[in-house]
Structure 1
Amino acid sequence: MKMVFRWFGEGNDTVSLDQIRQIPGVEGIVWALHDVPAGEEWPMDKILAVKTAADQAGLHLDVVESVNIHEDIKLGLPSRDKYISNYIKTMEKLAQVGVKVICYNFMPIFDWLRTDLYKEMEDGSTALFYEASKIENIEPMELVRKINENSTLTMPGWEPERLQYLTGLFEAYKDVTEEDMWENARYFLQEIIPAAERLGIRMAIHPDDPPWPIFGLPKIIINQDNVRRYLNLYDSPANSVTLCSGSLGANPDNDIIGMIHEFSDRIPFAHIRNVKVYENGDFIETSHRSQDGSVDIAGVVEAYHDIGFEGYARPDHGRHLWGEKCRPGYGLYDRALGIMYLWGVWDSLQRRANA
């Protein structure tokens, strides 16, 4: 298992590369150019600037998260070919600096959704929270304003310049069904995976977060059957999955450990985080410790150890601890604690295997 840490870039992250390099076992950053709108080709000079910074810190940049897909591709519009061409040009540039995995998603409009970014927990820490009843009674634009209020940092998937067209996007998706999304995904993969094979890059689809339809928008990467269907749309190691225990774990019916075993050769990148799920459909993100949430994180790590996982893994969202002012879900302290929990489980399993 290769441990990596998400970093949003110079001036766009409260966590520095110097801090990241001090977390035991972390060897690389998970990055992106968050100021480049979805659908545009990434400039090489900006890519090289990130590489230079990573090199100076002794960290690799093997994993990109995300090269976002333009909505026209998800909608299957005639203009999609232009955006797919730009996507492939970006992939070619990323291959030149050693990128091996591109995490991306096929979620309509929103990359993820929560109702509270700083829900206070019993111990005084705060965390990302999803309140099911609130989603049923809130207008999308009101939620967008809530997510972006007083934010000085970019929120992936909630960029104001993209979401200012929210009303038009909802209108565009009005008659789009799940089967339409599957067909549009198939078209995208037919174009993109041959390029990925040629470049030695593995495309790793991220599950929908949360894994169920919201605001009437179709969702397709939500459970084991659908992940299997997606991987079968183009049967190639380059068509793979970012297995996110937090996204999928928000639905207690999802068998994360079973997915790790079934898709073992198609998981180049793992997001490992815990969520506590309530009977009314609410959930909150907790520490990585198994006992603190509804996902058996120790069992998840054991499953990765059992399959001989040699891919990349990162602690996903963390709580906000000790007064840290940071991007919601992406502070230093709790993610670093999470890494040490993951390493503790992994090292114990390794020691037992070598006994």
Structure 2
Amino acid sequence: MKPSLSLEPVVGPNWHYAAELGITDIVAIRDQTDEVPIWDLPVLERVKKTYEDFGFRVAVLEGWVPFDSFRLRKPDADLDLKRMIAVIENMGKLGIGVLCYSWMAVNNWTRTSTATPTRGGALTSSYDHAVSERDPRSRQGIVVSEDLLWETLEQFLKAIVPVAEKAGVKLAIHPDDPPLSPLFGVGRIMRSVEAFDTALKLVDSPANGITFCQGNFAAMNADVPAAIRHLGRDGRIHFAHFRDIVGDAYRMTETFHDAGKTDMLAAMRAYRDIGFSGVMRTDHAPVMWGEDNGKPGYKSLGHIYAIGYMRGLMEAVAADAGR
């Protein structure tokens, strides 16, 4: 297992912290306000070189490719697919091994508060479905069905998995966040362990795999260590998000990584037992004293704390295995 941080492709404080923490394999994410056309090979080469010049290896791309037209079967669906094929081919040429993507249409990860107090006065994000239900969008009826999303996911996988196999790239689908349906009239399909079983069977290939985001599986009320063993039994967990919550999909609060509902040591043992050797990045850390809350969940101090906690758990399970 490789501890990791997510870094946008502009050098900043988190790049220095990552280097000081001994992080070598990073997750490249983009600022959602900018479109970076990495379906053009020279663009992705420049992005990769920016990280490499700082001493990092790009192990995972996450959240780079706009894809709602394909998910929703809109007129530009073919363009979305053409770009995604090019991105995966480019990743193969450049040795970037994992693409993290989701099937959340219209609404990405959603919270009803990003300033909920938690331990010591740190600020975290939370979700209360009762608040969402009062939103006018929740009274518009179903505008995107789950059936449509299952159909387009199957079309996507049948088109993309052969490309990924040829390129040597692994696809890693992320859970819905929060894992409930509908949300503001939009269906959500990746919200249970059984849904992930179904997605893996749509195209049964080692290239068709999972981003195991622990916080979302906890919000499903899944037994997280058991789910890791079940979904990762044949090597289909390609990427992991180290995160925890209290509550469930309908009412949940993000926590410090040592303060949620999941037995994190048991989860780390489960990763060891399935032979997971991929990248695990910290995710959605509380904003701590002295930090502004401009990017909730993605400031520095909570992630630095989480890396130390993650490393301690990894060392503990490695020591267990050596006894």
Q: Given the two structures, how large is their TM-score scaled by the length of structure 2?
A: 0.91
State yes or no: 1:4 paired with 2:1: no
2:156 alignment partner in structure 1: 188
Cα deviation, residue 177, structure 1 = 2.3
1:109 alignment partner in structure 2: 106
Question: Which segment is superposed worse, 94-103 or 280-289?
Answer: 280-289
Task: Supply the distance in 2 between the matched residues of 1:37 and 1:331 (Cα, whole angstroms).
Answer: 22
Secondary structure at the residue paired with 1:337? helix
* Deviations 1:249-296, CA, capped at 9 Å, x for gaps: 1232x2222221112110010011110117x9321111111xx11122
Task: Supply the distance in 2 between the matched residues of 1:305 and 1:135 (Cα, whole angstroms).
Answer: 38
Counterpart of 1:262, as a letter, is H
State yes or no: 1:209 paired with 2:177: yes
Q: Select 1:345's aligned residue among 307, 313, 323.
A: 313
* Deviations 1:156-192, CA, capped at 9 Å, x for gaps: xxxxxxxxxxxxxx89x72x42122111110011111
| Closer/same/farther in 2, CA of residues 10 and 67 from structure 1, 3 Å limit | closer
Cα deviation, residue 319, structure 1 = 0.5
Q: Select 2:198's aligned residue among 229, 232, 239.
A: 229
Secondary structure at the residue paired with 1:118? strand
Question: Which segment is superposed worse, 43-52 or 108-117?
Answer: 43-52
* Deviations 1:331-355, CA, capped at 9 Å, x for gaps: 1111121111111112112112212
2:262 alignment partner in structure 1: 295
Cα deviation, residue 136, structure 1 = 1.2
Task: Supply the distance in 1 between the matched residues of 2:132 and 2:65 (Cα, whole angstroms).
Answer: 24
State yes or no: 1:314 paired with 2:284: no
Q: Given the two structures, how large is their TM-score scaled by the length of structure 1?
A: 0.83
Secondary structure at the residue paired with 2:180? coil
Q: CA RMSD in A?
A: 2.2
8 Å contact kept, 2:243–2:257:
yes
Cα deviation, residue 41, structure 1 = 5.6
Gaps of 5+ in 1: 142-169
Counterpart of 1:197, as a letter, is E
Secondary structure at the residue paired with 1:216? coil
Secondary structure at the residue paired with 1:123? helix
1:335 alignment partner in structure 2: 303
Cα deviation, residue 33, structure 1 = 4.0
Cα deviation, residue 36, structure 1 = 5.1
8 Å contact kept, 1:190–1:234:
yes
State yes or no: 1:178 paired with 2:178: no
Cα deviation, residue 131, structure 1 = 2.1
Secondary structure at the residue paired with 2:5? strand
Cα deviation, residue 37, structure 1 = 4.2
Cα deviation, residue 94, structure 1 = 2.3
8 Å contact kept, 2:26–2:58:
yes
Extract structure 1 runs of 4+ deviating beyond 6 A: none
* Deviations 1:119-178, CA, capped at 9 Å, x for gaps: 12251100111122211112359xxxxxxxxxxxxxxxxxxxxxxxxxxxx89x72x421
Task: Supply the distance in 2 between the matched residues of 1:304 and 1:340 (Cα, whole angstroms).
Answer: 18
State yes or no: 1:285 paired with 2:283: no
1:151 alignment partner in structure 2: none
Identity rate, percent = 29
Cα deviation, residue 328, structure 1 = 1.0
8 Å contact kept, 1:245–1:272:
yes
Secondary structure at the residue paired with 1:288? coil
Alignment of 1:206-285 (within 5 A): 206-213=174-181, 214-252=183-221, 254-264=222-232, 265-277=235-247, 281-285=250-254
| Closer/same/farther in 2, CA of residues 350 and 65 from structure 1, 3 Å limit | same
Secondary structure at the residue paired with 1:330? coil
Secondary structure at the residue paired with 1:29? strand
